[in-house]
Amino acid sequence: MASGICLLGSKDLNHYRDTAILEVGAYPGKKGMQYSGSNHVVTAINTASGQLTLNNAFVFELWYDGSYAKATIQDYDEITTYFNYETSSLPTAIADLETVFPAFMIYDYGGKIRFRETLIEPWSRENE
């Protein structure tokens, strides 16, 4: 499992590290998986409409294994699922990466944010 990552579509990407971002996040009016490749542009892999509610607790999960990825966004009790997606055909810009570094990214956030727990661990879909 990797960390939850969020970019806003209005964020300018121009750093060399912005050429290989895989994320699961909440965006204005939607949530889901996005990526940035060598063009420094945030592109949707799969998103669902609907804004996440402020002042709620959410669990963001991103599982990555080469060209295979799955992502979920659930409420804290993991009863309600707001987003669920799984793919074995990620865009080449992500699937061809030799190394992936999990990270939190928070842009243009006005207010308070709390993290209860962050878990980053090696994962292989072969071990499920």
> Coil, helix or strand for 69?
strand
For the chain, the structural domain boundaries read 16-109
Percent pLDDT > 90 in the chain is 19
Q: Tens digits of per-residue pLDDT, 76-97? A: 888 899 999 999 998 888 888 7
**What is the domain class of 16-109 according to CATH?**
mainly beta
pLDDT digits (tens, 9 = 90+) for 30-55: 899 988 877 777 889 999 999 888 77
What residues contact residue 5 under an 8 Å CB cut-off, 6+ apart? 21, 22, 23, 24, 25, 60, 62, 102, 103, 104, 105
In this predicted structure, the answer to whether residue 113 has a pLDDT above a threshold of 50 is: yes
Average pLDDT (52-72) is 86
Q: pLDDT band for position 9 (50/70/90)?
A: very low
